[in-house]
Amino acid sequence: MTAPLILVVAAFLLLVISFWKRKSPARLREIPALTQLARTLGLSIEDGTRLHISLGHGSLLDARGGSAFAALAMLRIIAERTSVSDMPSVASAGDPALGLLTQDTVQAGYKAAGADDLYVHTTSRVTGLTPFSYAAGAMHIASNENVSTNILVGHFGPEAALLVDSADRDHVNLIGASDNLTGQAVLYAGSQDALIGEELFAAGTYLGAESSHAASLTVQDILRWLVILALLGGAALKFLGVI
Is 28 within a domain?
no
Is 159 within a domain?
yes
pLDDT at 107: 92
Is 8 within a domain?
no
> What are the beta bridge partners of residue 50?
147
> Which residues in the chain come in under a pLDDT of 50?
none
Is 215 within a domain?
yes
Domain CATH number, residue 144? 3.40.50
Is 122 within a domain?
yes
Rounded-to-integer distance, Cα 208 and Cα 41, Å: 12
Is 181 within a domain?
yes
Asked whether 116 and 128 are in contact (CB, 8 A), the reply is no
What burial letters (b/e) apply to 200-228, b meaning 16+ CB within 10 Å? bbbbbbbbebebbbbbbbbbbeeeeeeee
Rounded-to-integer distance, Cα 139 and Cα 32, Å: 25
Is 120 within a domain?
yes
Stated pTM of the model: 0.80
pLDDT at 236: 87
Domain that holds residue 198: 33-228
Is 72 within a domain?
yes
pLDDT at 23: 60
Q: What total of structural domains would you count in the chain?
A: 1
Torsion of CA 101, 177, 195, 3, to 10 degrees: 70
